[in-house]
């Protein structure tokens, strides 16, 4: 059992390679698929030059920048691609395989979170997986197509480094591009407005007994003529307050906290 | 319900701690993605940040955009001519985009063949000469028919 690529029967090749991910998971991959990752291919060819025979066929190729979840997706995508050393299919078989691949691609994209797309691109770039990179770059372009500037910035975590007048200048220059762009900001604003409440001034309420008393240690506001005149614009209770805390018990560990 | 929300927030914070893939550190990938955008999205991209603006100023992106759907790319002798007449971005803005939008209105499926490319290039030449000879007007008056609907 050797790991050489000069296999007389490529379509039924059982030559496998072991790849180790950043979270120490081992993946056994068919050589034909693994060779699509040019980084792996390079590593394998470098190893071939050195004394592989002595080590046997259990070379484990480390991929410290790739997480197992991402590698799983890349491998399954690689399997769907036409194999470079496979026997040439007739036209019908080729068409069926193409349709299968398209269906698989659509399914893959549907279940993908946008953030995961960036991880896939990062891994495909590290592995130098050309077909995968092409596919995921296209998917990413399709995702940011027709989106607003704010959405794109938020998606990639890009900071706006324009001065306000600069940004205005560019937005004017490219005003034609903004017709029909999905306005993410307006949508977010609408959601935000729905969640906020407003404080209305009710005016002075008379005749409420007992009158609220401000604690002796509280500041009463500034009245330069007579310091006994209470005139804070807004006051709130400060004694015997039940405040929120995160953990299951309060900050002091007592039954009650103020 | 509150506990679930608390957990979600903790998870989100943990995700933020993981080193994120910074697109601006991988300019070659960024260019590949920008190459696949259509015209308006490229305009939006220019307003995102300074780096993206510099990248979208590169004429090769616009050249790629102009001839993306054509089956056979135009001969290489076209490029110096287009550059001399004002560049691919101008070609896209003045000729390709209006032609595309007119085609889109009439047909559901967009067909962009050599004929449309040649039409765009011819209109581009008209634009250049009218600007040159017409006393430096910003847009050629003959090309106005592209922007306004006409009843023939």
Judge whether B32 is closer than 8 Å to chain A, CB to CB. yes
What does the alpha-carbon distance between residue B87 and residue B45 come to, in Å, rounded to a whole number?
Answer: 19
Chain B nearest-CA residue for A179: B40
Complex ipTM value: 0.71
- Whether residues A28 and A59 share a domain: the answer is yes
- Whether residues B127 and B74 share a domain: the answer is yes
Question: What's the pLDDT at A53?
Answer: 45
CB contact burial A16-25 (16+ within 10 A = b; e otherwise)? bbbbbbeeee
Does this model's pTM top 0.90? My answer is: no
Tens of pLDDT, residue by residue over A198-216, are 767 777 777 777 777 778 8
In a domain, B115, yes or no: yes
- Whether residues A249 and A181 share a domain: the answer is no
Cβ neighbours of B96 in A, within 8 Å: none
Judge whether B100 is closer than 8 Å to chain A, CB to CB. no
Question: What's the pLDDT at B83?
Answer: 86
In a domain, A172, yes or no: yes
User: Rounded to whole angstroms, what are the CA distances from A150 to A83, A154, B57?
Assistant: 41, 6, 20
Query: Which CATH number is A113's domain given?
Result: 3.30.710.10
**Predicted confidence band of residue A233 (pLDDT cuts 50, 70, 90):** low
Closest-CA distance, B112 to chain A, in angstroms, reads 20
- Whether residues A41 and A161 share a domain: the answer is no
Closest-CA distance, B20 to chain A, in angstroms, reads 8
A-B C-beta contacts closer than 8 Å: 91
Domain carrying residue B83: 70-131
- Whether residues B53 and B80 share a domain: the answer is no
Q: Return the closest-CA partner of residue B101 out of B148, B33, B152.
A: B148
- Whether residues A15 and A67 share a domain: the answer is yes
Interface test with A, best of B21, B34, B50 (most A CBs within 10 A): B21
Q: Mean pLDDT over residues A182-208, rounded?
A: 65
- Whether residues A7 and A107 share a domain: the answer is yes
- Whether residues A126 and A243 share a domain: the answer is no
Q: Do A167 and B47 make contact, defined as CB atoms within 8 angstroms?
A: yes
Q: Which of A44-53, A157-166, B53-62 has the lowest mean pLDDT?
A: A44-53
Judge whether B104 is closer than 8 Å to chain A, CB to CB. no
Q: Do A152 and B45 make contact, defined as CB atoms within 8 angstroms?
A: yes
- Whether residues A172 and A229 share a domain: the answer is no
- Whether residues A20 and A107 share a domain: the answer is yes
In a domain, A6, yes or no: yes
Q: Mean pLDDT over residues A7-36, rounded?
A: 74
- Whether residues A23 and A78 share a domain: the answer is yes
Determine contact, residues A21/A123, Cβ cutoff 8 Å: no
Cβ neighbours of B53 in A, within 8 Å: 170
Number of structural domains, chain A?
A: 3
Interface test with B, best of A69, A70, A122 (most B CBs within 10 A): A122
In a domain, A208, yes or no: yes
For B15, residues 6+ apart whose C-beta sits below 8 A from its C-beta are A115
Token couple for B18: 């993981």
Query: Is pLDDT larger for residue A103 or for residue A257?
Result: A103
Name the interface residues of A facing B (CB cutoff 8 Å): 115, 118-119, 121-122, 125, 133, 137-138, 140-142, 144-149, 152-153, 156-162, 167, 170-171, 173-174, 176-181, 246
Question: Residue A254: is it exposed, middle or buried by C-beta count within 10 angstroms (0-12/13-18/19+)?
Answer: exposed
Q: Return the closest-CA partner of residue A182 out of A151, A153, A217.
A: A151
Question: What's the pLDDT at B89?
Answer: 86
Tens of pLDDT, residue by residue over B78-123, are 888 888 888 888 888 888 777 777 776 655 556 677 777 788 888 8
| Beta strands A16-20; A26-30: pairing state | antiparallel
Interface test with A, best of B43, B55, B146 (most A CBs within 10 A): B43
**Predicted confidence band of residue A6 (pLDDT cuts 50, 70, 90):** very low
In a domain, A94, yes or no: no
- Whether residues B82 and B114 share a domain: the answer is yes
Number of structural domains, chain B?
A: 2
In a domain, A91, yes or no: no
Q: Mean pLDDT over residues B1-22, rounded?
A: 55
Q: Do B41 and A118 make contact, defined as CB atoms within 8 angstroms?
A: no
Query: Is pLDDT larger for residue B11 or for residue B17?
Result: B11
CB contact burial A139-165 (16+ within 10 A = b; e otherwise)? bbbebbebbbbbbbbebbebeeebeee
- pLDDT averaged over every residue in chain B: 75
- Whether residues B84 and B106 share a domain: the answer is yes
Determine contact, residues A13/A31, Cβ cutoff 8 Å: yes
- Whether residues B53 and B98 share a domain: the answer is no
Q: Mean pLDDT over residues B121-137, rounded?
A: 78
In a domain, B146, yes or no: no
Judge whether B38 is closer than 8 Å to chain A, CB to CB. yes
Domain carrying residue A243: 202-258
């Amino acid at each position: 059992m050797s790991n050489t690529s000069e296999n007389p029967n490529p379509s039924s090749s059982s030559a496998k390679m072991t790849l180790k991910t950043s979270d120490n998971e081992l993946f056994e991959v068919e050589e034909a698929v693994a060779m699509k990752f040019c980084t792996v291919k390079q590593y394998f060819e470098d190893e071939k030059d050195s004394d592989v025979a002595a080590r046997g066929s259990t070379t484990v190729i480390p991929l410290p920048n790739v997480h197992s979840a991402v590698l799983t997706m890349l491998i399954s995508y690689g399997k769907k691609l036409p194999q470079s050393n496979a026997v040439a299919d007739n036209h019908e078989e080729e068409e069926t395989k193409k349709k299968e691949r398209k269906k698989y691609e659509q399914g893959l994209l549907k279940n993908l979170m946008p953030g995961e797309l960036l991880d896939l691109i990062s891994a495909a770039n590290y592995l130098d997986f050309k077909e995968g990179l092409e596919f995921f770059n296209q998917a990413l372009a399709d995702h940011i197509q027709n989106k607003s500037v704010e959405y794109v910035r938020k998606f990639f975590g890009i900071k706006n480094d324009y001065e306000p007048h600069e940004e205005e200048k560019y937005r004017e220059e490219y005003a034609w591009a903004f017709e029909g762009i999905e306005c993410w900001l307006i949508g977010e604003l609408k959601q935000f407005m729905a969640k906020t409440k407003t404080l209305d001034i009710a005016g002075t309420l008379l005749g409420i007994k007992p009158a609220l008393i401000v604690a002796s240690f509280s500041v009463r506001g500034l009245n330069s003529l007579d310091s006994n005149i209470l005139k804070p614009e807004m006051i709130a209770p400060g004694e015997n307050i039940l405040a929120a805390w995160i953990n299951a018990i309060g900050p002091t560990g007592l039954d009650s906290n103020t | 319900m509150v506990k679930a929300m608390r957990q979600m927030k903790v998870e989100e914070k943990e995700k933020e701690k993981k080193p994120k893939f910074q697109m601006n550190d991988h300019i070659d990938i960024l260019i590949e993605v920008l190459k696949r955008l259509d015209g308006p999205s490229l305009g939006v991209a220019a307003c995102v940040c300074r780096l993206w603006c510099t990248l979208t100023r590169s004429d090769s992106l616009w050249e790629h955009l102009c001839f993306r759907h054509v089956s056979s790319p135009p001969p290489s002798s076209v490029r110096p001519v287009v550059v001399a007449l004002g560049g691919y971005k101008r070609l896209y803005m003045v000729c390709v985009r209006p032609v595309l939008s007119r085609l889109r209105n009439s047909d559901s499926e967009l067909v962009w063949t050599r004929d449309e490319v040649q039409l765009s290039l011819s209109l581009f030449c008209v634009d250049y000469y009218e600007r040159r000879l017409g006393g430096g007007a910003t847009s050629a008056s003959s090309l106005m028919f592209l922007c306004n609907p006409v009843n023939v």
